[in-house]
Structure 1
Amino acid sequence: MNISNQAAIHATQIVDGFEHIKSMSTLEITPDNMATFHQFLDLLSNEHGSEFADNVLAQPQIQKIKPGIQQLFSHASSLYERHWAERIVASDDPNEVLGNEYPYYKHYQRATGLEINAIHSLADEPVKNVLMVGSGALPLTTLALHNSGLQVDNLDINGPDLLLGQQVCQSLSPENEMTFIHNDICQQGNLAQYDVIWLAALVGDESLKNKIVAHLFEHMKPGAQLVVRTAYNLRTLLYPSIDEQGLTPFQLKLKIQTYADNFHSILIAQKPV
């Protein structure tokens, strides 16, 4: 069977999986629902090669449902983060819940560790102050940045998620001195104080990301770095992606295109000095 036929079959499986999830009476975090989601995510594995992925993405039925998949994944991700955030805040031993019960804890440690090592390696001056845009209800990146010795501010457009994220950080690291800002990043000033700005994968759709990048370039200080979490291949069906050209006029410094599942891809750019 040639790659075009394989891609057509795979596209049909993606459509069927998406329609099945949409048909659920309620979207809740239950073991059965999570099993269904994992089966669907397996269809969008990073391990598929670029030629196969391009053929799948070119299928008309995939292009038709792409916005719906991204909307569904964003909603499901928010529910999942809130579920675990509430468990952590309510627990008598929040670090135990995070370290031994939350399924993606080691993933966040590894992925954020990779980013932290990269920004220190690429920086012209010592990195001290960072802003996490889209910190959310479960700000594990925030905590990793804080635990690495960085001064972290958090920004999110969703007020309830931001408040819950602040409670999570207080539960896990009571002595933290982090700041939590409720705002739209495109309305946020004072960005020149940051050495690095992180942009979460689910912040903005593909058209809004261009506006965000333009705002950041205008207001960040020369030499500051921008870390963008994005996606390639079939993972672009989940995340609103941005490519190297989308970061212009930032100067691209590093591109990490991952092929391990559950890892986002990473772009690191710098505002020219």
Structure 2
Amino acid sequence: MNISNQALVHATKIVDGFQHIKSMSALEITPENMTTFHQFLDLLSNEHGSDFADNVLAQQEIQAIKPGIQQLFSQASSLYERHWAERIVKSSEPKLTLSNEYPYYKHYQRATGLEINAIHSLAATPVRNVLMVGSGALPLTTLALHQSGLSVDNLDINGPDLLLGQQVCDALSEQHQMKFIHNDICEQGNLDQYDVIWLAALVGDESLKEKIIAHLYAQMKPGAQLVVRTAYNLRTLLYPSIDEQGLAPFQLKLKIQTYADNFHSILIAQKPE
């Protein structure tokens, strides 16, 4: 079977999986639903090569459902984060609940560790103050940044998620002294105080990301770094993606695309000095 036929078969599996999830009576975090979600996510693995992924993405039926997949994934991700945030906050042993029970704990540790090492390696001067945009209800990146010795502020447009995220940080790191800012990043000023700004993968769609990038460039100080979590290949069906051209006039300093563990892709750019 040639690559075009393989791509068509795979595209059909993606469409069928998406329709199956849409047919669920309710979008809830249950063991059965999670099995279904994981089976669907496996179809969108980073392990597929670029030629194959391009062929799948070119299928008309895939382009037709792409907005629906992204909307569904955003909703499901938010539900999943809230589910685990509430479990951690209510736990008598929140640190053990996170490290021993949360399925993606080691993934976050590894992915964020990669980003932290990269920004320190690229920085001409010591990195101290960072802003996490889209910190959400389960701010594991925030906690990893804080634990690495950085001073962290958190910003999210969703007030209840931001509050729940603060409760998670209170439970896991009682003396954290982090700030939690309820605002739209495009309305946030005083961004020149940060050495690095992290932009979560699910912050904004493609068109909104362009507006966000322009606002950050206007507000950030020269020399500051921007870490953008994005997607490539089949993962672009899940995340609103941005490429290196979309970061202009920031200067791209590092691009990381992984082919294992379904890591998000990472772009690190700098505002010219």
Shorter-chain TM-score bucket reads over 0.9
Equivalent residue for 2:21? 21
Correspondences of 1:85-234 after superposition (within 5 Å)? 85-234=85-234
Equivalent residue for 1:7? 7
Task: Show CA shifts across 1:108-153 (max 9, x none).
Answer: 0000000000000000110000000000000000000000000000
Residues in 1 aligned to 2:262 and 2:157: alpha-carbon distance in whole angstroms = 25
Contact 1:139–1:165 (CA<8 Å) still a contact in 2? yes
Q: Which runs of 4+ in 1 moved over 4 A?
A: none
Give the aligned CA root-mean-square deviation in angstroms. Answer: 0.4
Equivalent residue for 1:268? 268
Task: Show CA shifts across 1:231-253 (max 9, x none).
Answer: 00000000000000000000000
User: Which amino acid in 2 is paired with 1:255?
Assistant: K
Aligned sequence identity (%)? 85
User: Which amino acid in 2 is paired with 1:201?
Assistant: A
Contact 1:107–1:262 (CA<8 Å) still a contact in 2? no
Mark the runs of 5 or more structure 1 residues left unpaired by the alignment: none
User: Which amino acid in 1 is paired with 2:33?
Assistant: N
Correspondences of 1:243-262 after superposition (within 5 Å)? 243-262=243-262
Residues in 2 aligned to 1:224 and 1:255: alpha-carbon distance in whole angstroms = 17
Mark the runs of 5 or more structure 2 residues left unpaired by the alignment: none
| Count of equivalent residues | 273
Residues in 1 aligned to 2:263 and 2:45: alpha-carbon distance in whole angstroms = 10
Task: Show CA shifts across 1:30-51 (max 9, x none).
Answer: 0000000000000001000000
Task: Show CA shifts across 1:4-50 (max 9, x none).
Answer: 01001100000000000000000100000000000000000100000
How many angstroms does 1:167 deviate by? 0.1
User: Which amino acid in 1 is paired with 2:14?
Assistant: I
TM-score by length of 1: 1.00
Residues in 2 aligned to 1:205 and 1:169: alpha-carbon distance in whole angstroms = 27
Residues in 2 aligned to 1:116 and 1:262: alpha-carbon distance in whole angstroms = 19
How many angstroms does 1:222 deviate by? 0.1
